[in-house]
Amino acid sequence: MSDVRFTRSIDKAHLARLKAAREEADAAYNAALSALDAALPAVPEMPHPAAPADEAQVTTLNERYAVLSAAPVVGGLKGLLLKPVLAVVAPYLARQEAFNAALVDHVNRNVAAERSVRESQAALIETLRIELERLATFHSALIVYLQQLTPYVDTKDYEFDGLAMRRLEDVGEAVDTLHHRTVGPGGAISGVGDELNKRLERLAVHERRFEARVAALDAAHTQLAQSLGVVTRATQTLKREVERLVEREPRSGHRAPEPVAATGPLDVESAGPSAASDNSFARGGIESFKYVGFEDQFRGSTTVIRERLKDYLPVFAGQQDVLDIGCGRGEFLELLRQQGIRSRGLDINHEMVEECRQRGLDALEGDALGHLRGLPDDSLGGIFAAQVVEHLQPDYLVALLQRAHDVLRPGGVLALETVNVACWFAFFQSYVRDITHVRPLHPETLAYFVRASGFPHVDVQFRSPYPEAHKLQHVPGSDAMHYALNANVDTLNSLLFTHLDYAVIARKP
């Protein structure tokens, strides 16, 4: 054997540098957590309920409104002298007393109504305060939990690799020493080699365990990030509710009483539920932030969606007054604005509309068919709806397509994108996952109803192809069995793994 001495590549100084680098990364991570903790918003000061109405004279008014019936009876000569006078002024006093009675009744009713409004307002403010304090507590607990991840995620990385290499080099050095000191080097080195292999196997097991722990921590970190996103959107929703409450408060600090009918007591339930109190998951309301978070997690980030929707820009080239139905977070509206195309978004989800407006986009909250019915014929240059039609009932969809044809100008474009349910993977992975989907639409079905609504030329374009590398692969071979097997593979791929989405594009003649 050649007389080659063992040379170390990892010395103590190198290990010290690796440890210092790890500690520096730990410090940077902790600094980022501290900055995140400092950036958490404080619980806003809640507005005080309106000052109570002045009820100081209400009792006096109720006791003294009767000016005629409460007048004392006077007898004798004075009574005889007053009798003709009373005969003249009695009708006027009776009218005054009737007026006083009506006024006192009106004051009593308004005092009761104001008292009820103030109590409801105080209860609402207290509820919002409690919810905001709960969110602040959750934020603090989340930061503490993230800080607990530091010793698990950012240790054993550089230092682990260095220690492993150091251990291997220690073993190698021992083998080299035995090679030069042992009389029978062949047998000695063979035994040391077996021991070395055992140690290497143990190191490999430890490394796999470490990688599994890191993967589990990465998954936990992803789940925490998703939870933090949901909490952030909940905070934004509550903040907007508080701002609306503050805006409804008159600047003087006093609330004007609501008009109340003078024929009976105030009936709180007679007005019926508010039109804005829709409990639908995808609509507006205090729970609508959850659907926004659902879109973020499963449909993709705004950057990903924006890149995918760029393919539709040539379809609307040269058009103006484009309506984006179901505009969501406004990705396509931003693309149209960059191209100088005048556009407006429409969505039934209040949180989606607020997010668009915060980015300076023109967006309205409302129903698609109701909005189109409010527009004059031939008033739009284009209508775009991505991932919307699968949320609609059949009768509603047919009426929407017909009205879309009417409001488009000649040459105007209609583009509808939806899940390609003819692709089994898209159906079971994308369509079924969204609980707001109403009915799957086959490409031929949607194309037929668009054509039947007055669009003679309809183009179906398949988009978002399934990655080739993830499809079923051919088996190498040239005999009849391999040919039949690969033909079946192609058939399965055409059913299971084709295009995830499709678009129906039509132009009004």
User: What is the per-residue pLDDT across 128-186, written as a single tens digit (0 to 9) for each?
Assistant: 888 878 877 877 777 777 766 666 565 555 566 666 667 767 776 776 666 666 545 45
User: What is the per-residue pLDDT across 250-304, written as a single tens digit (0 to 9) for each?
Assistant: 544 444 444 333 333 323 333 333 333 333 444 444 455 455 555 555 566 778 8
Judged by average pLDDT, the poorest of 67-71, 210-214, 461-465 is 67-71
Q: Is residue 278 part of a domain?
A: no
Among residues 217, 234, 267, the one where a domain terminates is 267
Q: Is residue 121 part of a domain?
A: yes
Between residues 371 and 290, which one has the greater pLDDT? Answer: 371
Among residues 232, 267, 302, the one where a domain terminates is 267
User: Tell me, what's the pLDDT at 190?
Assistant: 60
Q: Is residue 284 part of a domain?
A: no
Let me know whether 146 and 293 are in one domain: no
Domain that holds residue 197: 8-267
Let me know whether 227 and 362 are in one domain: no
User: Tell me, what's the pLDDT at 459?
Assistant: 94
Q: Is residue 314 part of a domain?
A: yes
Strand partners, 504: 416, 460
Q: Is residue 356 part of a domain?
A: yes
Closest by alpha carbon to 113, among 241, 243, 271? 271
Residue 400 has pLDDT above 80, yes or no: yes
Let me know whether 162 and 254 are in one domain: yes
Let me know whether 62 and 210 are in one domain: yes
Let me know whether 234 and 367 are in one domain: no
Between residues 407 and 237, which one has the greater pLDDT? Answer: 407
SS (H, E, C) 98-131: HHHHHHHHHHHHHHHHHHHHHHHHHHHHHHHHHH
C-alpha distances in Å from residue 291, one per residue of 42, 96, 229, 328, 354: 25, 61, 12, 10, 14
User: Global pTM?
Assistant: 0.49
User: Tell me, what's the pLDDT at 368?
Assistant: 95
Closest by alpha carbon to 499, among 434, 432, 443, 447? 443
Mean pLDDT of 467-487: 83
**Percent of the chain clearing pLDDT 70 (strictly above):** 68
Mean pLDDT of 88-100: 75
Task: Report the DSSP pairing between strands 408-419 and 380-386.
Answer: parallel
Q: Is residue 2 part of a domain?
A: no
User: Tell me, what's the pLDDT at 271?
Assistant: 33
